[in-house]
Chains A and B, each alone.
Chain A
Amino acid sequence: MYNFDYHRPKSVADAVAALKKASDGKLIAGGQTLIPTLKQRLAQPSDLIDLSGVAELQGIKVDGKTVTIGAMTKHAEVANSADVAKTIPALSEMAKVIGDPQVRNVGTLGGSIANADPAADYPAAIVGLGATVKTNERSIAGDDFFKGIFTTALKEGELIVSVSFPAPEKAAYVKFRNPASRFAMVGVLVAKTASGVRVAVTGAGPSVFRVKAMEDALAKDFSAKAIEGVKVPASGLNSDIHGSAEYRAHLVNVMARRAVEAAK
């Protein structure tokens, strides 16, 4: 790890100010990706701005049919929230399978989606549930948030404050873990919502994506059988020592069917 200057602001405004002032500053939330990156000397920020002291980024609020989660809320808090479990069981279940207990007790929602790891779980929930990301500057529709591998719609100096998830009629998240890293090799969130069916896939490609053919088939008949024959093209999907693009494409179908069956 190289040296850096450390800041622990108390407000979003102070955090943004510190970030703007730094020559090459980085925000740190749970640090589940950033800390290993620093330890391996793969990044050399001038300043680290730790968001753990910013109270306005914390907490879970349920307002009728909307769950709003502060950016610095830990995965374990989401997983253990009775309100989340009651309002959006799929979100609760998803949080329970992120990483391992250590990761869930340190990693945060905002950190995860700002990092936009292609194998992270949260992107499937953001897109699959049609969530809205609120930043210090604006609101961004979940569908527009992820722009590619480790790339988001966030601009320089922009900071995630919270994410609002509308409750679906029913939904489920099912993932197939990479055998080594246990990250999502393929994670599929299927949701039946007021505005239609959403099928969001994480892990399989460079960034989360929706499978329109499945959404159309499920809109007509929300059953596993309805999508059995819907093939996801392998082109553009990830391929590595753990599995080919074809295998991942196949797993998208298997996981989607399992998610439809598990939806509640």
Chain B
Amino acid sequence: MGEKGIGARVARKEDQRFLTGNGHYTDDLQRNRQTYAFFLRSPHAHAKIRKIDAAAAKSAPGVLAVFTGADIAEAKVGSLICGWVVKDKNGEPHKAPPHPALALDTVRHVGDPVAMVIAETAAQAKDAAETIAVDYEELPSVVNPAKALAKSAPQLHAEAPGNLCYDWELGDKAAVDAAFAKAAHVAKVDLVNNRLIPNAMEPRAAAAEYDAGTGQYTLWTTSQNPHVTRLVLSAFVLGIPEHKLRVIAPDVGGGFGSKIFIYSEETLLTWASAKVGRPIKWTAERNESFVSDAHGRDHVTHAELALDKDGKFLALKVDTIANMGAYLSTFATAVPTYLYGTLLAGQYTTPAIHVNVKSVFTNTAPVDAYRGAGRPEATFVLERIVEQAARDLKIDKAELRRRNFIATDAYPYQTPVALTYDSGNYAGAMSKALELADYAGFEKRRAESKAKGKLRGIGLSAYIEACGLAPSAVVGSLGAGVGQWESAQVRFNPTGNVQVYTGSHSHGQGHETTFAQVVSNHLGVPIEQIEVIHGDTASVPFGMGTYGSRSLAVGGSAIVKACDKIVAKGKKIAAHMLEASAADIEFKDGTFTVAGTDKSVPLAGVVFSAYVPHNYPLNELEPGMDENAFYDPANFTYPAGVHVCEVEVDPDTGVASIAKFTAVDDFGNIINPMIVEGQVHGGIGQGIGQALLEHGVYDEKSGQLLSGSYMDYTMPRADDLPSFDVGYQITPCPHNPLGVKGCGEAGAIAAPAAVMNAIHDALAPVGVQSIDMPATPARVWQAIQQANTKMAAE
């Protein structure tokens, strides 16, 4: 490990431009003769569109065009797609109702786009939109997933009777039933996994331009995966050939999943740029983001865990209703199935597991992957029920987990829910976490809090995630419409510096630094001479993008493969230069050496020779030093760990504050500990946000989004969070060259269960049995009052 190689806390290269205001975001774009789009959106949760009168808007000052659903249908703009086919219990594919980019005859959620106005200025577009008269016939709506399946529930799509998208299951139900029949104890929980609204710092934005001379479209968009955007728009929605569509995702200010998807706005901008013949730009206002970004989570679950008399887990059964929202977003179907049900073994040897998921349509914004995507929901179910069982059986919660952990020598470990874990040391992480958290000293701290009139609780969350998405053959067999490899190109310039192209987009994760460290480590090139380039389909090889904590495990591995090719070619060139056999050439720290001699040539010399091949084996070797690689992982990676949360509740106000938060994570090898800590901190912040603060709330009667601004949607702030104690258990991933597992989502996956377990532990002494997320002060206070009333009655 050098000062800037693998394992070094290298300051992020990209922060210089971000922190000095020199980033280039989509909204910064100023194209010649640029126009602006504004989207008129439905104010209703559910309504028929009787008529749209846009005549006044079309002749309003500055307006170039107004398009409605009818125009889009006439132009044969395709439906937005969901790219993952989930098969239900009977093998039937999920119900896939059309998702028009502009509503045709029905609006199905508040914010559903109804018309697009394009004008010389953003204000003119907005002014004109206000003159569009839409004659709506309001229909009854349903927003609560648990109510969407009722016979009397309003129906959203003719294609999905009963609002059911699919009724999916995984696992051996007969084995589970048999295990429950002989169980000594059954723990039960009813859980709501609250709806979250992503709120990336940069709202979604897009700009599109059509070159009539070449027939080339260019789309700038806030995307986590520009190639996937291009593929979907080309092959499924707009029919523009891929080679005639360039997609650029410039600097992007956070995604958290919400910028994976292909939305109406960038689709329509691209299409309309040719119609209007001028560049068009759109940037979401924050209130648009609230109603139109894909939301996260929103599950209702009943789960039961069967245990024997010693606390060994015998079987788990889980029934979940998952909210899809009004339409299927790009990967919506996969989130509550293959990213959820498959994780329900957790870190435990539970031999039989059955999960049933009914996904439903409701009159709400579409729900899709959000930091963790399915895995936070799985961890929440499992870790809440494990602590419920510990409380029921009066077994220490750490001890109960230890009794059920998969042993460190059991890998590869086949779970009953499809995954094969590759490596781990769960007991090791647990020991470290308990020590760091001073678990042993907790009761003393609880007593101290009690003396001050406060209720203190401690909770654990032993999570696992499947990251490094994904082995293409596996996800293909499960219904994914794409492969999930990653690409890399390592291109030396004649002067010895390097451009590294990656298909894995960076929008806050620090790839430009981490990936440079990987290349520096493998090739011995100083980090300052390495430029990591991503986000432009015109320059970067086709790549699958950034999600599922995959960038380093998959994209980083592709870079290593490309570096290996550079070294292999370099050895041949060096052999020629040093008049030796290639087999005798060793490469270390940027220098090729003839083994056992002092004859050597630096990589820069080899590169120069490759580009100026005056003395070069041209009959055997091509000139140039520019290598491509694609890497398709052999398995998922399985980051895991234990998070410990300690809360202190003020029973007078219901305020639960985080007194202490400890995270011990196993991410395999770590390239840049500072970036990893940042990812862990951010993830925990979002996890605490889910547990205590954030809640996307739709009004059950009107279907209006009640938490549609920061006045009502509680984003976590610095003073809501403690300083985190972070530690590591390092078990390298055995099947990728860096031995890395991924760290981007762990905090958001682990933290909600840890926090909620701590709150249940704190409130158990006053008789509170169950409280849902977010555990807001009002809810905590209410739960205490109800417990008091119940105790008084008893």
Contacts and interface: CB of A to CB of B under 8 A. Distances in A.
Interface stretch (A147-155, A204-212, A247-255): A247-255
B329 to A, nearest CB: 25
Contacts of A183: 711
Given A241-B695, A241-B697, A254-B652, A180 B778 contact: no
B600 interface: no
A81 B656 CA distance: 34
A247 B713 contact: no
A40 B710 CA distance: 14
A179 interface: yes
A46 interface: no
Contacts of A247: 654, 777-778, 781-782
A102 to B, nearest CB: 14
Interface string B583-626: 00000000000000000000000000000000000000000000
Interface in B499-551: none
A179 B693 contact: yes
Chain B, interface size category, equals 20 to 34
B653 interface: yes
Given A179-B693, A181-B710, A250 B781 contact: yes
Contacts of A243: 776-778
Contacts of A242: 712, 776, 778
Contact of B712 (A176, A181, A251): A181
Most chain A Cβ neighbours within 10 Å, of B652, B707, B710 = B652
A180 B710 contact: yes
A244 interface: yes
B712 A180 contact: yes
Contacts, number: 46
Given A176-B653, A179-B693, A244 B778 contact: yes
Contacts of A176: 653, 777
Interface in B703-747: 706-707, 710-715
Contacts of A1: 123
Interface in A223-263: 240-244, 247, 250-251, 254
Nearest to A119: B711
Most chain A Cβ neighbours within 10 Å, of B653, B654, B713 = B653
Nearest to B713: A180
A250 to B, nearest CB: 7
Interface in B346-403: none
A25 to B, nearest CB: 22
A21 B652 CA distance: 53
Given A247-B781, A247-B782, A250-B781, A241 B653 contact: no
Nearest to B776: A179
A227 to B, nearest CB: 13
A241 B697 CA distance: 8
B714 A180 contact: yes
Contacts of B778: 242-244, 247
Contacts of A250: 781
A7 B709 CA distance: 31
Most chain B Cβ neighbours within 10 Å, of A41, A241, A251 = A241
Q: Interface on chain A toward B: helix, strand, loop, or mixed SS?
A: loop
Q: Interface on chain B toward A: helix, strand, loop, or mixed SS?
A: loop
A230 to B, nearest CB: 15
Interface string B319-347: 00000000000000000000000000000
Nearest to A243: B778
Contact of A180 (B287, B654, B711, B781): B711
Most chain B Cβ neighbours within 10 Å, of A179, A250, A251 = A179
A240 to B, nearest CB: 8
B354 to A, nearest CB: 35
Contacts of B123: 1
A170 to B, nearest CB: 22
Contacts of A241: 695, 697, 706-707, 712
Nearest to B650: A254
Given A179-B776, A241-B695, A254 B712 contact: no
B129 to A, nearest CB: 11
Contacts of A244: 778, 782
Contacts of B782: 244, 247
A60 to B, nearest CB: 29
Interface in B626-680: 652-654
Interface string A31-46: 0000000001100000
Contacts of A179: 693, 714, 776-777
A244 B777 CA distance: 11
Contacts of A251: 653
Interface in B765-789: 776-778, 781-782
A158 B706 CA distance: 35
A245 to B, nearest CB: 11
Nearest to B720: A179
A242 B712 CA distance: 8
Most chain B Cβ neighbours within 10 Å, of A1, A40, A251 = A251
Interface in B127-143: 130
Interface string A47-81: 00000000000000000000000000000000000
Nearest to A248: B778
Interface in A163-183: 176, 179-181, 183
A33 B781 CA distance: 31
A181 B652 contact: no
A254 B711 contact: no
A242 B693 CA distance: 10
A254 B710 contact: no
Nearest to A182: B717
B295 to A, nearest CB: 16
Nearest to A239: B778
A135 B254 CA distance: 49
Interface string A107-142: 000000000000000000000000000000000000
A254 B777 CA distance: 13
A240 B704 CA distance: 14
A11 to B, nearest CB: 33
A243 B782 CA distance: 9
Contacts of B777: 176, 179, 243, 247
Contacts of B693: 179-180
A176 B697 CA distance: 22
A86 to B, nearest CB: 29
Most chain A Cβ neighbours within 10 Å, of B123, B693, B715, B777 = B777
A242 to B, nearest CB: 6
Nearest to A244: B778
A210 B26 CA distance: 52
A190 to B, nearest CB: 16
A40 B707 CA distance: 16
A180 B711 CA distance: 6
Contacts of B130: 41
A176 B695 CA distance: 19
Given A241-B697, A247-B782, A254-B653, A181 B707 contact: no
A186 B688 CA distance: 24
A233 to B, nearest CB: 16
Interface in B268-293: 287
A244 B776 CA distance: 12
Contacts of B714: 179-180
A250 B785 CA distance: 11
Nearest to B695: A241
Contacts of B652: 254
Contacts of B776: 179, 242-243
A140 B121 CA distance: 47
The 6 tightest CB contacts between A and B, nearest first, are: A243-B778, A180-B714, A181-B711, A179-B714, A247-B778, A254-B652
Given A180-B707, A180-B714, A181-B712, 10 more contacts: A41-B126, A180-B711, A241-B695, A241-B707, A243-B778, A247-B654, A247-B777, A250-B781, A251-B653, A254-B652
5 contacts: A40-B287, A181-B712, A241-B697, A243-B776, A251-B653
Interface of B: 123, 126, 130, 287, 652-654, 693, 695, 697, 706-707, 710-715, 776-778, 781-782
